[in-house]
Amino acid sequence: MRPAMTPVIQRRALSALVLAALPGLAAAQGRGDPLPSWREGGTKRAILDFLRATTTPGSADFVAPAERLAVFDNDGTLWVEQPLYAQFAFALDRVRALAPQHPEWAMRDPFRAVLANDMHALVQTGEHGLAEIIAVTHTGMSPEVFRQTALAWLATARHPRFARPYTECIYQPMLEVLALFRARGFRTCIVSGGTLEFMRPWAEQAYGVPPDQIVGTTFKLHYGLANGRGELTTLSEVDLLDDGPGKPAGIARAFGRRPIAAFGNSDGDYEMLEYTTTGPGRRLGLIVHHDDAAREYAYDRQSHIGRLDRALTAAPQQRWLVTSMRDDWARVFPDV
Amino acid sequence: MRPAMTPVIQRRALSALVLAALPGLAAAQGRGDPLPSWREGGTKRAILDFLRATTTPGSADFVAPAERLAVFDNDGTLWVEQPLYAQFAFALDRVRALAPQHPEWAMRDPFRAVLANDMHALVQTGEHGLAEIIAVTHTGMSPEVFRQTALAWLATARHPRFARPYTECIYQPMLEVLALFRARGFRTCIVSGGTLEFMRPWAEQAYGVPPDQIVGTTFKLHYGLANGRGELTTLSEVDLLDDGPGKPAGIARAFGRRPIAAFGNSDGDYEMLEYTTTGPGRRLGLIVHHDDAAREYAYDRQSHIGRLDRALTAAPQQRWLVTSMRDDWARVFPDV
Q: How far is B250 from chain A (nearest CA, A)?
A: 9
Specify if A5 maps to a domain.
no
Does residue B211 share a domain with residue B77?
A: yes
- Give contacts of B 61-90 with A, CB under 8 A: 66
| Total CB pairs under 8 A between chain A and B | 124
Residues of B in contact with A210 (CB under 8 A): 66
Q: Examine the pLDDT at B116 and tell me if it is beyond 70.
A: yes
Q: Cβ A224–B232 below 8 Å, yes or no?
A: no
Q: Cβ A17–B13 below 8 Å, yes or no?
A: no
Where is the domain boundary, A156, A190, A214? A156
DSSP B170: B
- Give contacts of A 275-304 with B, CB under 8 A: 275-276, 278-279
What mean pLDDT do residues B103-127 have? 93
pLDDT in tens, A266-301: 999 999 999 999 999 999 999 999 999 999 999 999
Q: What pLDDT, on a 0 to 100 scale, did the predictor assign at position A31?
A: 56
Q: What pLDDT, on a 0 to 100 scale, did the predictor assign at position B31?
A: 57
Specify if A55 maps to a domain.
yes
Counting beta carbons within 10 angstroms of the beta carbon of residue A60, is it exposed (0 to 12), middle (13 to 18) or buried (19 or more)?
exposed
> In terms of Cα–Cα distance, which of B302, B317, B238 is closest to B270?
B317
* Mean of per-residue pLDDT scores for chain A: 91
Q: Which of A17, A214, A278 sits opposite B230 (nearest CB)?
A: A278
Q: Examine the pLDDT at A21 and tell me if it is beyond 80.
A: no
- Closest residue in chain A to residue B254, using alpha carbons only: A212
Best of A187, A188, A197, A221 to disrupt the B interface (most B CBs within 10 Å) is A221
In order, the DSSP letters of B261-322 are EEEE-SGGGHHHHHHHHTSSS--EEEEEE-B-TTTS-B--TT-SSS--SHHHHHHHHHT-EE
Burial A93-117 (b: 16+ CB within 10 A, else e): ebbeeebeeeeebeeebbbbbbeee
- Closest residue in chain A to residue B255, using alpha carbons only: A212
Q: How far is B325 from chain A (nearest CA, A)?
A: 28
Q: At what angle do helices B86-98 and B126-138 cross, to 10 degrees?
A: 70
Q: Cβ B1–A18 below 8 Å, yes or no?
A: no
Residues of A in contact with B232 (CB under 8 A): 248-249, 252, 275
DSSP B3: T
Q: What pLDDT, on a 0 to 100 scale, did the predictor assign at position A176?
A: 98
Does residue B312 share a domain with residue B203?
A: yes
Does residue A92 share a domain with residue A37?
A: no
Q: What pLDDT, on a 0 to 100 scale, did the predictor assign at position A242?
A: 95
Q: Cβ A256–B11 below 8 Å, yes or no?
A: no
Specify if A334 maps to a domain.
no
pLDDT in tens, B228-282: 999 999 999 999 999 999 999 999 999 999 999 999 999 999 999 999 999 999 9
Residue B302, C-beta contacts closer than 8 angstroms, at least 6 positions apart: none
Where is the domain boundary, B156, B175, B204? B156
- Give contacts of B 108-147 with A, CB under 8 A: 143
Q: What pLDDT, on a 0 to 100 scale, did the predictor assign at position B24?
A: 42
Does residue A291 share a domain with residue A270?
A: yes
Q: Is A163 on the interface with B (CB under 8 A)?
A: no
Residue A324, C-beta contacts closer than 8 angstroms, at least 6 positions apart: A43, A289, A291, A292
Does residue B140 share a domain with residue B232?
A: no
Q: Examine the pLDDT at B55 and tell me if it is beyond 80.
A: yes
d(CA B236, CA B258): 30
Does residue A200 share a domain with residue A122?
A: no
Residues of A in contact with B200 (CB under 8 A): 256
- Element containing residue B326 per DSSP (H, E): helix B325-328
Specify if B23 maps to a domain.
no
pLDDT in tens, A48-77: 999 999 999 999 999 999 999 999 999 999
Residues of A in contact with B239 (CB under 8 A): 239-240, 253
Q: Which of B14, B196, B274 sits opposite A14 (nearest CB)?
A: B14
Residues of A in contact with B222 (CB under 8 A): 245, 249
Q: Cβ A229–B200 below 8 Å, yes or no?
A: no
Residues of A in contact with B256 (CB under 8 A): 143, 196, 200, 211-212, 214
pLDDT in tens, A78-132: 999 999 999 999 999 999 999 999 999 999 999 999 999 998 999 899 889 988 9
d(CA A256, CA B242): 17
Q: How far is B246 from chain A (nearest CA, A)?
A: 8
Q: Cβ B278–A229 below 8 Å, yes or no?
A: yes
More confident site: A7 or B78: B78
Residue A176, C-beta contacts closer than 8 angstroms, at least 6 positions apart: A34, A35, A36, A37, A38
Task: Work out how many domains chain B is built from and give that number.
Answer: 2
Specify if B261 maps to a domain.
yes
Does residue B132 share a domain with residue B59?
A: no
Q: Cβ A211–B278 below 8 Å, yes or no?
A: no
Does residue A313 share a domain with residue A190?
A: yes
Residues of B in contact with A274 (CB under 8 A): 225, 230
Are the C-beta atoms of residues B34 and B150 closer than 8 Å to each other? no
What mean pLDDT do residues A244-260 have? 97
Q: What pLDDT, on a 0 to 100 scale, did the predictor assign at position B10?
A: 44
Does residue B211 share a domain with residue B111?
A: no
Specify if A314 maps to a domain.
yes
Specify if A2 maps to a domain.
no
Residues of A in contact with B139 (CB under 8 A): none
Q: What pLDDT, on a 0 to 100 scale, did the predictor assign at position B127?
A: 85
Does residue B218 share a domain with residue B150?
A: no
Where is the domain boundary, B103, B126, B156? B156
pLDDT in tens, A174-185: 999 999 999 999
- Closest residue in chain A to residue B250, using alpha carbons only: A221
Residues of B in contact with A196 (CB under 8 A): 253, 256
d(CA A73, CA A246): 13
Does residue A184 share a domain with residue A51?
A: yes
In which domain, by residue range, is B222 found? 35-81+166-328
**Confidence category of residue A307, pLDDT binned at 50, 70, 90:** very high
- What CATH number corresponds to the domain at position A244? 3.40.50.1000
Q: Cβ A14–B18 below 8 Å, yes or no?
A: no
Specify if B266 maps to a domain.
yes
Q: Examine the pLDDT at B19 and tell me if it is beyond 90.
A: no
| A105 to A100, B160, B306: CA distances (angstroms) | 9, 65, 50
Best of A223, A273, A275 to disrupt the B interface (most B CBs within 10 Å) is A223
Q: Which of B21, B220, B221 sits opposite A21 (nearest CB)?
A: B21
Q: Examine the pLDDT at B126 and tell me if it is beyond 70.
A: yes
Does residue A90 share a domain with residue A70?
A: no
- Give contacts of B 221-280 with A, CB under 8 A: 221-225, 228-230, 232, 239-240, 245-246, 248-249, 252-257, 271, 274-276, 278-279
DSSP B190: E
What is the number of other CB atoms lying within 10 angstroms of the CB of residue A293? 11
- Closest residue in chain A to residue B229, using alpha carbons only: A278
